């Protein structure tokens, strides 16, 4: 079950939620606010979601991942609101019997998330100013 | 008795709700709006009206995606009374 929250993401807690006794591999990815983008210093990033649509899209991604890969479980969590440098905006955890499926599913899920989940980020720059990241046209 | 002007208007018009997000929200200066539009109008007609009202939306024209309720839609999608139309600029999550 996907999670969309304005609270800090707790990667350890998410890992514990996904792991089962059959999980020989646990792979997690965290997307983290970085202090620069294309040569500009970034102070913080503001994340906005279309909440119902984003949560539904993340739940669909989890279902698709379970169908496509030999995995035991997956959870996709995305944060909204204003995040400082170093804070995680997205965490994906995949549990599988073996590592190949866990790595593949995790990589697939973050790549798909960036095209199919209606979330937007606005970078706030050092020295003032803010801009929405250009982004990609939403895929169904 | 002849129908009143209001009855004629109600028959010819429907009301939909538009949800604006991210750049679209900023350029329209609002999160949502109720729009009265001709019965049977499609998204292209709704979008045209919005562009006239909020010229700042024009630069989003190529990248915007439309969702009606929970379903992906396109400019040819015909709207119904009470529909909720979400305007989704290019996405940049993760």
Q: At what angle do helices A99-116 and A51-68 cross, to 10 degrees?
A: 150
Q: Is the pLDDT of residue B9 over 90?
A: no
Contact list in A for residue B92 (CB cut-off 8 A) is 114, 119-121, 132-136
Q: Is the pLDDT of residue B64 over 80?
A: yes
| Ranges assigned E (strand) in chain B | 13-20, 32-38, 65-68, 71-73, 84-88
Question: For B31, left (φ over 0), alpha (ψ -120 to 50), or beta?
Answer: alpha
Do the Cβ atoms of A4 and A89 come closer than 8 Å? no
ipTM of the complex: 0.94
Mean pLDDT for the stretch of residues A28-53:
97
Give the count of alpha carbons within 13 A of B56, CB side only. 11
**Location of structure tokens 């009202």:** B53
Q: Quick one: pLDDT band at residue B7, thresholds 50, 70, 90?
A: confident
Contact A120 B22 (CB under 8 A): yes
Query: Cα separation of A140 and A10, whole Å?
Result: 29
Q: Is the pLDDT of residue A134 over 80?
A: yes
Do the Cβ atoms of B15 and B36 come closer than 8 Å? yes
Contact A119 B90 (CB under 8 A): no
DSSP-assigned letter for residue A117: S
Contact list in A for residue B89 (CB cut-off 8 A) is 120, 132, 135
Q: Tokens representing B18?
A: 């538009």
A vs B: CB pairs below 8 A: 80
Query: Cα separation of B11 and A107, whole Å?
Result: 52
Contact A134 B92 (CB under 8 A): yes
Helix (H) or strand (E) holding A123: strand A119-125
Q: What is the pLDDT, as a whole number, of residue A124?
A: 98
DSSP-assigned letter for residue B39: T
Bridge partner list, B65: B88
Do the Cβ atoms of B40 and B76 come closer than 8 Å? no
Bridge partner list, A32: A88
Q: How many CB atoms lie within 10 A of CB B12?
A: 12
pLDDT digits (tens, 9 = 90+) for A69-124: 999 999 999 999 999 999 999 999 999 999 999 999 999 999 999 999 999 999 99
Closest CA of chain A from B53, distance in Å: 22
- Find, in chain A, the residue whose alpha carbon is nearest to that of B87: A50
Q: Quick one: pLDDT band at residue A140, thresholds 50, 70, 90?
A: confident
Closest CA of chain A from B70, distance in Å: 7
pLDDT digits (tens, 9 = 90+) for A4-22: 999 999 999 999 999 999 9
- Find, in chain B, the residue whose alpha carbon is nearest to that of A120: B92
Q: How many CB atoms lie within 10 A of CB A41?
A: 13
Contact B70 A113 (CB under 8 A): no
Of A90, A116, A120, the CB nearest to B89: A120
Assess A117–B contact: CB distance below 8 Å, yes or no. Answer: yes
> Which residue in A6, A41, A27 sits closest to A98, CA to CA?
A27
Query: Cα separation of A51 and A71, whole Å?
Result: 27
**Location of structure tokens 């669909």:** A60
Of A31, A119, A137, the CB nearest to B63: A137
Contact B92 A78 (CB under 8 A): no
Q: What is the pLDDT, as a whole number, of residue B11?
A: 73
pLDDT digits (tens, 9 = 90+) for B71-91: 999 999 999 999 999 999 999
């Amino acid at each position: 079950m996907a999670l969309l929250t304005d609270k800090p993401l707790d990667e350890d807690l998410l890992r514990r939620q996904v792991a089962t006794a059959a999980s020989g591999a646990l792979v997690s990815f965290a997307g983290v606010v970085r202090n620069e983008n294309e040569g500009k210093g970034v102070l913080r990033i503001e994340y906005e979601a279309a909440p119902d649509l984003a949560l539904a899209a993340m739940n669909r991604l989890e279902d698709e991942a379970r169908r496509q890969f030999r995995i035991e479980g997956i959870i996709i969590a995305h944060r909204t609101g204003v995040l400082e440098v170093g804070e995680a905006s997205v965490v994906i955890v995949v549990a599988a019997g073996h590592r190949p499926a866990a790595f593949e599913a995790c990589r697939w899920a973050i790549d798909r998330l960036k095209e199919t989940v209606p979330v937007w980020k606005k970078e706030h720059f050092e020295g003032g100013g803010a801009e929405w990241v250009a982004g990609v046209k939403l895929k169904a | 008795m002849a129908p009143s002007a209001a009855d004629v208007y109600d028959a010819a018009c429907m009301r939909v709700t538009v949800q604006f997000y991210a750049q679209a929200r900023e350029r329209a200066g609002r999160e949502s709006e109720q729009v009265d539009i001709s019965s049977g109008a499609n998204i292209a007609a709704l979008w045209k009206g919005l562009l006239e009202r909020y010229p700042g939306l024009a630069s989003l024209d190529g990248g915007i995606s439309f969702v009606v309720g929970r379903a992906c839609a396109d400019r040819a999608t015909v709207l119904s009374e009470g529909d909720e139309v979400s305007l989704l600029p290019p996405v940049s999550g993760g």
